[in-house]
Amino acid sequence: MIVSSDESLIAAYACGDQAAFSELVQRHGDSVLGYLYHMTGNRDQAEDLFQETFKKVHEKGHTFRGEHFKSWLFTIATRTAIDAARKGKRQATISLDQEFDCESQDGHTAGTALLASDAPDPAEEAAREEQKTQVRQAIEDLPVRQRATLLLAYYQQLSYREVARVLGCSVGTVKTQMSRALGTLAHKLPDSVSVTK
């Protein structure tokens, strides 16, 4: 079976192939929802923004002109999240709860990995929860563009060039935002705490 590229699917959808749109949602839905959940810290809001994001993809699919589909999609998701924050619907915060973590490079979610491993003892679990709280709070305090840069580059594993395309800025600006975000986190977090997925 030949696997179609994202770009060919969105082109097919623009020509009226509804199944192509469904395939794109299936391919990218989990990572978009996870990203929006990290951006908002609220499942209900993330789901609303998810629906709004794919509604915009539906409406603007015919305008896609050969860019990388994933970066185009995350541009829409990012702008949707930032617009919602600006409208004051809710102050944008980040959660790093495992339930919505994005897939790792080997295709397994962090939650799946946890289920497959032995349960930690209560002391380890308490320490892990405390560290997660510290990381969540530190990232929550980042300015929204630094937060988006960190999430896109680190959690979504987009290249700096793709992040620049998503955020509508230069690669140099992305590097600066990432450096500032990591510097802030390094300053705020104890040496024993690291930013993990």
| Count of domains for the chain | 1
Residue 141 has what pLDDT?
81
Average pLDDT over residues 151-166: 90
Q: Output the domain CATH number for residue 184.
A: 1.10.1740.10
Of 89, 45, 83, 68, nearest in space to 156 by CA: 68
Separation between Cα atoms, residue 106 and residue 40, nearest integer Å: 26
Contact 62, 140 (CB under 8 A): no
pLDDT tens string 43-58: 899 999 999 999 999 9
Q: Which residue range forms the structural domain that includes residue 79?
A: 6-103+120-188
Residues 45-49: contacts with CB under 8 Å, at least 24 apart: 45/84, 45/89, 45/90, 46/100, 49/77, 49/80, 49/81, 49/84
Would 16 be classed as within a structural domain? yes
Token pair of 37 as six digits = 């959940």
In this predicted structure, the answer to whether residue 23 has a pLDDT above a threshold of 90 is yes
Would 111 be classed as within a structural domain? no
* Residue 93 pLDDT class (50, 70, 90 cuts): very low
Would 63 be classed as within a structural domain? yes
Contact 138, 84 (CB under 8 A): no
* Residue 144 pLDDT class (50, 70, 90 cuts): confident
Would 184 be classed as within a structural domain? yes
Average pLDDT over residues 58-68: 84
Q: Reduced to 3 states, what is the DSSP secondary structure of residue 118?
A: coil
Separation between Cα atoms, residue 128 and residue 150, nearest integer Å: 21
